[in-house]
């Protein structure tokens, strides 16, 4: 039976407030749509997209997960910087990425819905549309409920469950590294991910109450077309659970 990509995005007053994607078989369409439409607390517009996926690739495991907690944002950001550098990002560009997330990466200084894509050699921004950014979609867990239960039991959140998928897909698609923290003012944990170090969860990457955040993907400039085609078009299902260490 072909799999479906089911996506929901909701906005309020023209501002994006919620988005989620599931990859499911046809017989789970109704329950999936019912789950997704209950997610946004408030909205004035919601779009549900259902699309048949012609080809879905399977991954045995997501990136391994490590967690690091610090007492101050400054210490956590210094650690994130070191993690990016260890992953192969020049220090100047790692600092630039942190600065971008701190001030809001959109041209108007606010948050972007998608990610900044930065050339890891030159620091040039490569995303075709700077307001929209690049969005990593079409990846889900084969058994989301089981993985979610395992991760929540270990103290992780729904955001980790989704962010780990995005980071895993970016690495599969050729990213050298990624840094992310949320634009949710109440969510201060973020991460650096790379093929070398896995998913490195870092807390707190910003102060509570700060509404800015986003994602920066580092790639080799020559890989842009292939990277975009992969993160936006190829579909993946992840079978197994992550490994955890601290
Ligand atoms: C984590 O808890 O592992 C970090 C998740 C970051 C989520 C970013 C977002 O969804 O905005």
Alpha-carbon distance of 185 to 61, in angstroms, equals 31
Give the pLDDT score at 16.
Answer: 87
Residue 176 is predicted with a pLDDT of 98
Mean pLDDT of 5-9: 97
Same domain, 43 and 64: no
Find out whether the beta carbon of 69 lies less than 6 Å from any atom of ligand 1. no
Tens of pLDDT, residues 52-91: 999 999 999 999 999 999 999 999 999 999 999 999 999 9
Ligand 1 pocket, residue 159 CB under 6 Å: yes
User: With a 6 A CB cut-off, is 227 part of the ligand 1 pocket?
Assistant: no
39 and 90 share a domain? no
Q: Answer yes or no: do 50 and 63 share one domain.
A: no
Tell whether 218 and 164 lie within a shared domain.
yes
What is the pTM for the complete model shown? 0.96
Query: How remote is the CA of residue 52 from the centroid of ligand 1, in Å?
Result: 28
Give the separation between CA 203 and CA 192, rounded to whole angstroms.
11
Structural domain range at position 10: 3-54
Compute, in angstroms, the gap from residue 48 CA to the centroid of ligand 1. 23
pLDDT in tens, 96-124: 999 999 998 787 777 788 999 999 999 99
Residue-wise over 90-123: b if at least 16 C-beta within 10 A, else e?
eeebbebbbebbbebbbeeeebbbbbbbbbbeee
Residues 18 and 117 in one domain: no
Atom of ligand 1 nearest to the CA of 215: 8
Do both 127 and 209 map to the same domain? yes
- Find out whether the beta carbon of 160 lies less than 6 Å from any atom of ligand 1: yes
Q: How far apart are CA 22 and CA 139, in angstroms?
A: 8
Together in a domain, 213 and 174: yes
Q: Ligand 1 atom 9: the closest Cα is on which residue? A: 182
Are 59 and 237 in contact by the 8 Å Cβ rule? The answer is yes
> Does residue 246 register a pLDDT over 80?
no
Shortest-distance Cα residue to atom 6 of ligand 1:
190
Query: Is there a single domain that holds both residue 44 and residue 78?
Result: no
Q: Which residues contact 222 (CB under 8 A, 6 or more apart)?
A: none
Average pLDDT in the 150-155 region?
Answer: 96
138: left (phi over 0), alpha (psi -120 to 50) or beta: left
In contact, 43 and 13? CB cutoff 8 Å: no
Q: How far apart are the first and last CA of the chain?
A: 40
Q: What is the pLDDT of residue 140?
A: 98
- Centre a 10 Å sphere on the Cβ of residue 12 and count the other Cβ atoms it contains: 15
Evaluate the omega torsion of the peptide bond into residue 204 and state whether it is cis, within 30 degrees of 0: yes
For the Cβ of 114 lying below 6 angstroms from any atom of ligand 1, the answer is no
Indicate whether residue 215 lines ligand 1 (CB < 6 A): no
Q: Same domain for 36 and 129?
A: no
Residues in the chain: 246
**What is the rounded average pLDDT for all residues in the chain?**
96
Number of separate domains in the chain: 2
Instruction: Please check whether residues 93 and 46 belong to one and the same domain.
Output: no
């Amino acid at each position: 039976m072909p799999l479906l990509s089911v996506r929901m995005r909701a906005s309020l007053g023209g501002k994006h407030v919620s988005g989620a994607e599931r990859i499911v078989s046809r017989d789970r369409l109704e329950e999936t749509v019912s789950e997704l439409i209950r997610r946004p607390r408030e909205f004035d517009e919601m779009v549900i997209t259902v699309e048949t996926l012609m080809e879905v690739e399977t991954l045995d495991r997501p990136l391994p997960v490590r967690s690091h907690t610090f007492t101050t944002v400054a210490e956590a950001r210094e650690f994130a910087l070191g993690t990016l550098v260890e992953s192969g990002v020049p220090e100047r560009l790692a600092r630039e990425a942190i600065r971008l997330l701190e001030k809001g990466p959109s041209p108007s200084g606010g948050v972007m819905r998608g990610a900044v894509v930065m050339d890891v050699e030159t620091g040039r921004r490569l995303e075709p549309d700077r307001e929209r950014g690049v969005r990593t979609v079409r990846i889900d867990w084969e058994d989301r409920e089981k993985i979610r239960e395992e991760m929540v039991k270990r103290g992780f959140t729904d955001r980790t469950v989704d962010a780990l998928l995005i980071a895993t897909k970016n690495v599969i698609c050729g990213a050298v590294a990624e840094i992310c923290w949320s634009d949710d003012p109440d969510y201060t944990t973020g991460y650096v991910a790379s093929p070398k170090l896995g998913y490195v969860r870092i807390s707190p990457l910003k102060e509570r109450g700060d509404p800015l955040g986003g994602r920066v993907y580092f790639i080799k400039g020559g890989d842009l077309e292939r990277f975009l085609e992969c993160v936006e078009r190829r579909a993946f299902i992840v079978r197994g659970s992550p490994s955890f260490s601290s």
